[in-house]
A and B are shown apart, each in its own frame.
Chain A
Amino acid sequence: MSTEISHNREANGTQHDKALIFELSKAGRIAYSLPEQDVPDVDMDTLIPADLRRSEPAELPEVYEVDVIRHYTALSKRNFGIDDGFYPLGSCTMKYNPKINEDVARFPGFAKIHPYQPESSVQGALELLYRLQQDLADITGMDRVTLQPAAGAHGEWTGLMMIRAYHESRGEKRTKVIVPDSSHGTNPASATAAGFKTVTIPSNEDGLVDLDALRAAVDNDTAALMLTNPNTLGLFEEHITEIAAIVHEAGGQLYYDGANSNAIMGITRPGDMGFDVVHLNLHKTMSTPHGGGGPGSGPVGVKAHLAPFLPTPIVGQRETGEYFLDTNYPQSIGRVKAYYGNFGILVRAYTYIRSLGPEGLRQVTENAVLNANYMLRKLAPYFDVPYDRICKHEFVLSGKGLKQYGVRTLDVAKRLLDFGYHPPTIYFPLNVEECIMIEPTETESKETLDAFIDTMIQIVKECEDDPEFVKNAPYTTKVRRLDETQAARKPVLNCACGV
Chain B
Amino acid sequence: MMHRYLPMTEENRKEMLAAVGVDDIEQLFQDIPDEVRLKRSLQVSERLDERSLLRYMRGLSGQNADFDQYVSFLGAGLYDHHVPVVLNHVLSRSEFYTAYTPYQPEISQGELQAIFEFQSYICELTGMAVANASMYDGATALGEAAALAANTSRRKRIVLSEAVHPEARQIVATVASGLSLDVVEVPCGQDGVTDAVRLKEAVDEHTAAVLVQSPNFFGCIEDVRGLAAAAHVSGALLAVSVNPLTLGLLEAPGKLGADIVVGDAQPFGISASFGGPTCGFFAVSEAHMRKMPGRVVGQTTDRDGKRGFVLTLQAREQHIRREKATSNICSNQALLALAASVYLSVMGKQGMQDAAKLNVNKAHYARQALTAIPGVTALYEAPFFNEFALRLPAGTSVEAVNEALLASGYIGGLDLGRVGADWEGCMLVAVTECRTREEIDGFARALEVAIG
Question: How far is the CB of A209 from the nearest CB of chain B, in Å?
Answer: 14
Question: How far is the CB of B112 from the nearest CB of chain A, in Å?
Answer: 9
Residue of B93, B250, B385 with highest tally of chain A CB at under 10 A: B93
> Which of A76-84, A213-221, A245-253 lines the interface with chain B?
A76-84
Taking a contact as CB atoms under 8 Å apart, the answer to whether A76 and B96 are in contact is yes
Question: How far is the CB of B168 from the nearest CB of chain A, in Å?
Answer: 7
Cβ-based interface call for A357 (8 A):
yes
Cα A266 to Cα B304 in complex, Å, equals 50
Q: Which residues of A contact B58 (CB under 8 A)?
A: 107, 109
CB-based nearest A residue for B166: A335
Q: Which residues of B contact A341 (CB under 8 A)?
A: 275-276
Taking a contact as CB atoms under 8 Å apart, the answer to whether B65 and A122 are in contact is yes
CB under 8 Å from chain A, chain B span 112-140 = 113-117, 119-121, 123-125, 130-131, 133-134, 136-140
Q: Which residues of A contact B312 (CB under 8 A)?
A: 484, 487-488, 491, 493
Cβ-based interface call for A467 (8 A):
no
Interface membership of chain A positions 79-117, coded 1 if the CB is closer than 8 angstroms to chain B and 0 otherwise: 111111001010010111110101111111111111111
Q: Which residues of A contact B76 (CB under 8 A)?
A: 116
A interface size (C-beta, 8 A): 215
CB under 8 Å from chain A, chain B span 310-338 = 310, 312-315, 317-325, 327-336, 338
Taking a contact as CB atoms under 8 Å apart, the answer to whether B275 and A343 are in contact is yes
Taking a contact as CB atoms under 8 Å apart, the answer to whether B325 and A338 are in contact is no
Cβ-based interface call for B15 (8 A):
yes
Taking a contact as CB atoms under 8 Å apart, the answer to whether B97 and A97 are in contact is yes
Question: How far is the CB of A468 from the nearest CB of chain B, in Å?
Answer: 14
Please tell me which one of the listed residues B30, B248, B264, B314 contacts residue A390 in the complex, with CB atoms under 8 A apart: B30
Q: Which residues of A contact B29 (CB under 8 A)?
A: 267-268, 369
Cα A79 to Cα B44 in complex, Å, equals 36
Question: How far is the CB of A278 from the nearest CB of chain B, in Å?
Answer: 14
Range for the number of chain B residues in contact with chain A: 35 or more
Q: Which residues of A contact B174 (CB under 8 A)?
A: 161, 311, 333-336
Interface membership of chain B positions 232-274, coded 1 if the CB is closer than 8 angstroms to chain A and 0 otherwise: 0000000000000001111110010000000010000001111
Taking a contact as CB atoms under 8 Å apart, the answer to whether B8 and A21 are in contact is no
Please tell me which one of the listed residues B6, B130, B276, B331 contacts residue A363 in the complex, with CB atoms under 8 A apart: B6
Question: How far is the CB of A183 from the nearest CB of chain B, in Å?
Answer: 9
CB-based nearest B residue for A238: B31
Taking a contact as CB atoms under 8 Å apart, the answer to whether B275 and A192 are in contact is no
Cβ-based interface call for B152 (8 A):
no
Interface membership of chain B positions 1-15, coded 1 if the CB is closer than 8 angstroms to chain A and 0 otherwise: 101011110001101
Question: How far is the CB of A459 from the nearest CB of chain B, in Å?
Answer: 15
Taking a contact as CB atoms under 8 Å apart, the answer to whether A343 and B274 are in contact is yes
CB under 8 Å from chain A, chain B span 7-38 = 7-8, 12-13, 15-17, 19-22, 25, 27-33, 35-38
Cα A184 to Cα B325 in complex, Å, equals 13
Cα A495 to Cα B307 in complex, Å, equals 12
Please tell me which one of the listed residues A92, A98, A354 contacts residue B47 in the complex, with CB atoms under 8 A apart: A354
Taking a contact as CB atoms under 8 Å apart, the answer to whether B67 and A80 are in contact is no
Cα A49 to Cα B5 in complex, Å, equals 58
> Which of A34-42, A300-308, A396-404 lines the interface with chain B?
A34-42
Cβ-based interface call for B302 (8 A):
yes
Please tell me which one of the listed residues A110, A121, A191, A488 contacts residue B315 in the complex, with CB atoms under 8 A apart: A488
Please tell me which one of the listed residues A272, A361, A479 contacts residue B302 in the complex, with CB atoms under 8 A apart: A479
Please tell me which one of the listed residues B178, B305, B348, B434 contacts residue A30 in the complex, with CB atoms under 8 A apart: B348
> Which of B102-110, B199-207, B389-397 lines the interface with chain A?
B102-110
Cβ-based interface call for A1 (8 A):
no
Q: Which residues of A contact B306 (CB under 8 A)?
A: 14, 16-17, 479-480
Q: Which residues of A contact B180 (CB under 8 A)?
A: 195
Taking a contact as CB atoms under 8 Å apart, the answer to whether A87 and B276 are in contact is no
Taking a contact as CB atoms under 8 Å apart, the answer to whether B274 and A114 are in contact is yes
Please tell me which one of the listed residues B117, B221, B250, B301 contacts residue A20 in the complex, with CB atoms under 8 A apart: B117
CB-based nearest B residue for A73: B93
Cβ-based interface call for B289 (8 A):
yes
Cα A362 to Cα B411 in complex, Å, equals 43
Interface membership of chain B positions 26-62, coded 1 if the CB is closer than 8 angstroms to chain A and 0 otherwise: 0111111101111001111111101001101111111
Q: List 27 A-B contacts (CB under 8 A).
A: A18-B109, A38-B437, A40-B365, A48-B221, A57-B248, A57-B353, A72-B338, A89-B100, A109-B58, A113-B67, A117-B65, A127-B60, A185-B317, A193-B175, A238-B32, A283-B331, A289-B335, A293-B295, A334-B177, A338-B165, A341-B275, A341-B276, A370-B25, A370-B28, A377-B19, A480-B306, A482-B300
A68-B90, A124-B59 known, 16 other contacts, Cβ within 8 Å = A34-B354, A54-B250, A81-B94, A112-B80, A118-B406, A124-B62, A151-B330, A268-B29, A293-B295, A337-B137, A338-B137, A354-B45, A414-B106, A482-B300, A494-B130, A495-B116
